[in-house]
């Protein structure tokens, strides 16, 4: 078989699937629709011609199960020559240059899942994890080239190679995939893979990367007296101060609007008769536990007085990020 310079998404998926996971296809009765990701043709005759061409070239053998009323014709692939698929795929992939941005995104996803999943090296990656939620009317982004190259290099071991439905992204309507006609479903499916990182050097790199991951988080005090947390692009109301007259809102505003830090107790705009200690005041304004850990910094001035500073933004590591996620569940 001639190695062309640009393979279609269909051909890449067919060769990768049968090179690395032939048991998921072999000896199974599959309909034309179930093999739609392998062949580009929407015409049954063209599909069969392509299927039998692969048989003539020695890639596999095809056995037909005749269809009946309301039951489609099935095709059973046997004697799949995975070595032949692998050799030709390997030859093609040597002509492909991987994008550094794609690799960076893939390893970032891997590192986050490594930290979250008890430090194992099992990873699930969707097409949109790397390329985002945008229309894909034709194959441009080299997702399968990226994944299959790493598998050929024996850096990863493939467990699942598939497609998954995604919500429509070309409309603002709240429409489910089930409402989309079958003819459009092809444009609403994206690649998804599950693999295990098996290369020891790469495992070390992923482990190091996972320990360095940081999440940007922010705390906000609105003009109406609401204390909010900005986490993963979402806003959570932590507390709503009821009165401008009480010390909690006065302290919160003094900290949030401070033009210079750190502040001592006398700089917090307190009522004259307030005898509450500085650290207790911070807890009273409902910045406690993980919030206090991230956003509040204590110290001492030259007179050994306790000082405090509110940082509106912070960098949370993965453990702190998980604690924040658990915290907002209690709100």
2 in any annotated domain: no
Q: Both 71 and 114 in a single domain? A: no
pLDDT at 134: 59
Helix, strand, coil % over all residues of the chain, rounded to 5 = 40, 25, 35
Provide the pLDDT for residue 167: 57
State how beta strands 226-231 and 215-221 pair: antiparallel
33 C-beta neighbours (distance < 10 Å), count: 9
- For the chain, the domain total comes to 3
Q: In this structure, are 201 and 224 located in the same domain?
A: no
Range of the domain at 137: 100-211
Do 128 and 185 reside in the same domain of the chain?
yes
Task: Walk across the sheet containing 263-264 and list its strands.
Answer: 263-264, 306-310, 296-300
Write out pLDDT tens, residues 6-33: 898 999 999 999 999 999 999 999 998 8
Of the ranges 81-90, 129-138, 238-247, 310-319, which one carries the lowest mean pLDDT score? 129-138
pLDDT at residue 4, rounded to an integer: 53
Find the mean pLDDT for residues 198-215. Answer: 90
Average pLDDT over residues 263-283: 70
Phi, psi of 99 (to 5 degrees): -80, 130
Q: Provide CB contacts within 8 A for 18, sequence distance 6+.
A: 25, 59, 60, 80, 82, 85
Q: Does 290 map to a domain?
A: yes
Domain boundary residue, one of 211, 238, 270: 211
241 and 312 housed in the same domain: yes
Residue 295, domain member (yes or no): yes
Tell whether the model's pLDDT for residue 273 goes beyond 60: no
Residue 331's nearest CA partner among 236, 230, 249 is 236
Question: Where is mean pLDDT largest: 49-58, 163-172, 186-195?
Answer: 49-58
Alpha carbon distance 93, 112 (integer Å): 27
Q: How far apart are CA 62 and CA 76, in angstroms?
A: 6
User: Would residue 245 count as lying in a domain?
Assistant: yes
3 in a domain, yes or no? Answer: no
CATH of the domain at 67: 1.10.10
Query: Are 203 and 250 in the same domain?
Result: no
Q: Which of 172, 191, 211 is the last residue of a domain?
A: 211
Residue 234: both structure tokens together? 């979402």
Confidence of residue 174 (pLDDT cuts 50, 70, 90): very low
Question: 135 lies in a domain?
Answer: yes
Mean pLDDT, range 286-314, rounded to an integer? 90
Lowest-pLDDT range of 102-116, 232-246, 309-323? 232-246
Question: Which of 211, 236, 253 is the C-terminal boundary of a domain?
Answer: 211
What pLDDT is attached to residue 259? 74
Residue pair 18/85 in contact (Cβ under 8 Å)? The answer is: yes
* 226-245: average pLDDT: 86
Triad 79, 84, 85: Cα angle to 5°? 90
Report yes or no: 281 and 292 within 8 Å, Cβ to Cβ.
no
Determine contact, residues 214/315, Cβ cutoff 8 Å: yes
The more confident residue out of 77 and 138 is 77
Same-domain check for residues 157 and 66: no
39/18 Cα distance (integer angstroms): 13
Q: Are residues 219 and 324 in the same domain?
A: yes
Task: Please report whether residue 1 resides in a domain.
Answer: no
**9-27: buried (b, 16+ CB within 10 Å) or exposed (e) per residue?**
bbbbbbbbbbbbbbeebee
- State the residue for tokens 């110290």: 299
pLDDT at 86: 97
| Whether the predicted pLDDT of 249 surpasses 50 | yes
Give SS3 for 290: helix
pLDDT of 80 > 90? The answer is yes
Is 95 a domain residue? Answer: no
- Residue 186 burial (CB count, 10 A): 12
**Same domain, yes or no, for 70 and 126?**
no
Contact yes or no for 306/264 (Cβ under 8 A): yes
Q: What is the tens place of the pLDDT at every residue in 98-116?
A: 889 999 999 999 998 998 8
pLDDT of 81-95, one tens digit each?
999 999 999 999 999
CB 131 within 8 A of CB 41: no
Q: Are residues 146 and 70 in the same domain?
A: no
**280 shares a domain with 243:** yes
Q: Domain check: are 132 and 185 in the same one?
A: yes
Structure tokens at 153: 């290099």
Highest mean pLDDT among 115-119, 180-184, 322-326: 322-326
- 223 & 324 share domain: yes
Q: Is the pLDDT of residue 171 over 50?
A: no
Q: What is the mean pLDDT of the chain?
A: 84
């Amino acid at each position: 078989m001639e190695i062309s310079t640009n393979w279609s998404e269909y051909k890449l998926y067919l060769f990768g699937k049968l090179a690395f996971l032939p048991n998921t296809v072999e000896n199974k009765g599959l309909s034309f629709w179930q093999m739609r990701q392998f062949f580009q043709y929407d015409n049954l005759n063209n599909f069969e011609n392509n299927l039998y061409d692969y048989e003539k070239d020695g890639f596999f053998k095809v056995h037909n199960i005749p269809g009946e009323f309301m039951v489609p014709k099935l095709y059973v692939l046997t004697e799949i020559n995975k070595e032949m698929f692998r050799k030709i795929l390997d030859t093609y992939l040597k002509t492909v240059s991987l994008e550094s941005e794609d690799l960076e995104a893939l390893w970032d996803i891997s590192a986050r899942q490594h930290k979250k999943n008890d430090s194992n090296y099992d990873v699930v990656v969707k097409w949109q994890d790397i390329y985002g939620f945008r229309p894909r009317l034709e194959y441009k982004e080299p997702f399968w080239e990226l994944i299959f190259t790493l598998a050929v290099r024996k850096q990863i071991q493939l467990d699942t190679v598939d497609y998954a439905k995604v919500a429509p992204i070309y409309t603002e309507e709240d429409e489910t995939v089930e409402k989309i006609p079958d003819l459009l479903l092809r444009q609403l499916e994206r690649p998804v893979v599950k693999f295990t990182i098996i290369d020891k050097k790469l495992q070390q790199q992923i482990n190091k990367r996972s320990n360095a991951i940081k999440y940007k988080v922010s705390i906000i005090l609105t003009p109406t007296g609401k204390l909010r947390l900005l986490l993963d692009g979402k806003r959570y109301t932590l507390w709503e101060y009821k009165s401008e007259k009480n010390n909690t809102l006065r302290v919160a505003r003094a900290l949030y609007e401070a033009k210079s830090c750190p502040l001592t107790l006398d700089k917090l705009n307190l009522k004259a008769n307030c005898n509450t200690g500085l650290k207790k005041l911070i807890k009273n304004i409902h910045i406690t536990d993980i919030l206090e850990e991230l956003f509040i910094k204590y110290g001492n001035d030259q007179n050994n007085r306790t000082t405090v500073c509110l940082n509106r933004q912070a960098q949370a590591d993965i453990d702190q990020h998980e604690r924040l996620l658990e915290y907002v569940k209690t709100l």
